[in-house]
Structure 1
Amino acid sequence: MITIGLTGSIGMGKSTVAQMFADQGVPVFDADETVHQLQGPGGALVEVIEAAFPDTTGAQGVDRTALREAVFGNEAAFARLEALVHPAVARARDAFLAANASAPMVVLDVPLLFEAGGWAAVDKIVVVSAPPEVQRARVLARPGMSVERFESILDRQLSDSEKRARADFVISTDGPLEETRAQVRHVLTCLAAPRGG
């Protein structure tokens, strides 16, 4: 099995590209979606997050806005949160890999692949990228997003240029969707080629 690490900074179009891999029949593990499930109603992380950050959960699970406010600008609190979330996501990822052990390749869609050290556990790295002005326009169009929050997120992420430099493949998302889809197919064709052939 070839394990593909799919990553990219916020607003680069990574979720769209992940769906394109899935449309080609490649099993995709979505780290963000896993976090949503773990923090959703009845999720495995709800009680431990409430214990660590009181008044950040309710009937619908974790109140992401309240939790974000509880850790915003507080490095120690953010580290405490990551120490709860990362091991739970890792367990879900391991279960996904076991369930798809017979697949020729899988995609691990991980926003912080480099920042959290996950790059060392994959065979190939695909970075999704777009020009800074495209990224900024996409992110600031999101509900509830502010310039301050956008810049805070960027500060936690490796720069796009560094990610591209460390990638095996770069997929650009600033053109038509069909161009992006063609790039995904190209990556799969390259990875499916016989080794050393």
Structure 2
Amino acid sequence: MLKVGITGGIGSGKTTVCKIFESLGIPVYYADNEAKRLIEEHPRLVSGYKKLFGDEVYRNGKLNKQLVAKVIFEDNKLLNKVNALVHPVVREDFIGWVNKQRAPYVLEEAAVLLESGGHHFLDKVILVTAPETVRIARVIKRDGVASEEVLKRIRNQWPDEKRHRFCDYEILADEKHLVVPQILKIHSELLK
């Protein structure tokens, strides 16, 4: 089965694009959501997080996100340790999920697909892009945060210029170009 990654910066429109692929019968694995679930459920991740952050990192079985966020964005070495712990478990979970699917291809949606090296395990990669102004407006509306906060998040991700080098397809979700025809073209190519 063909495994296709779908990535893009915050506010690019990845989720909307994925929902359209799902309406075409293509299963989507939302890596970021699954990672959040696994961090609270997978024994290797729970014990690893406790070693890195202490027992107070979990409250009643739920991750203390404020504690993690406060520490992790100030310490790059710790962030790298967390990524080294989480990414292999998410990859294993994805492979198990793929083996249960019965479609011509599947999508793995992940914001940091390229940064984490996840694209090396996939057959193709789709990049969803939008101008920075559109992305900022979307995230402000979605998350209710200030534009400075959105810009900080954008600056912590790879720029689209760098992402292009690793991608086979691009969907421009700029609110000017129609997204569905772009998706249908990619879909028909992936079915060949």
| TM-score, length of structure 1 as denominator length | 0.85
Which position in structure 2 is the counterpart of 1:109?
109
Distance 1:146 1:51 in 2: 34
Structure 1 residue 147: Cα displacement? 4.9
Distance 2:186 2:96 in 1: 25
Structure 1 residue 11: Cα displacement? 0.9
Map residues 14-33 of structure 1 onto 2, 5 A cutoff: 14-33=14-33
Which position in structure 1 is the counterpart of 2:181?
182
Alignment partner of 1:126 is 2:126: yes
Distance 1:23 1:145 in 2: 30
Structure 1 runs (4+) deviating above 6 angstroms are none
3-state SS in 1 of match to 2:143: coil
| Cα separation, partners in 2 of 1:128 and 1:153, compared to 1, 3 Å | same
3-state SS in 2 of match to 1:99: coil
Structure 1 residue 74: Cα displacement? 0.8
Distance 2:58 2:144 in 1: 19
Across the two proteins, how many residue pairs are aligned to each other? 190
Where structure 2 has 5 or more consecutive residues not aligned to the other structure, the ranges are: none
Which position in structure 1 is the counterpart of 2:83?
82
Distance 1:73 1:17 in 2: 33
| TM-score, length of structure 2 as denominator length | 0.87
3-state SS in 2 of match to 1:161: helix
3-state SS in 2 of match to 1:88: helix
Where structure 1 has 5 or more consecutive residues not aligned to the other structure, the ranges are: none
Structure 1 residue 79: Cα displacement? 1.3
Which position in structure 2 is the counterpart of 1:39?
39
Which position in structure 1 is the counterpart of 2:63?
62
Contact 2:130 2:173 in 1 (8 A): yes
3-state SS in 1 of match to 2:94: helix
Contact 1:43 1:61 in 2 (8 A): no
69-78 or 137-146, which deviates more: 137-146
Letter in 1 for 2:171: I
Map residues 4-19 of structure 1 onto 2, 5 A cutoff: 4-19=4-19
Contact 1:46 1:61 in 2 (8 A): no
Letter in 1 for 2:70: E
C-alpha RMSD over aligned residues:
2.3
Percentage of pairs with the same residue: 28
| Cα separation, partners in 2 of 1:39 and 1:166, compared to 1, 3 Å | closer
1:32-56 C-alpha deviation (Å, 9 max, x unpaired): 110121134x454334323321323
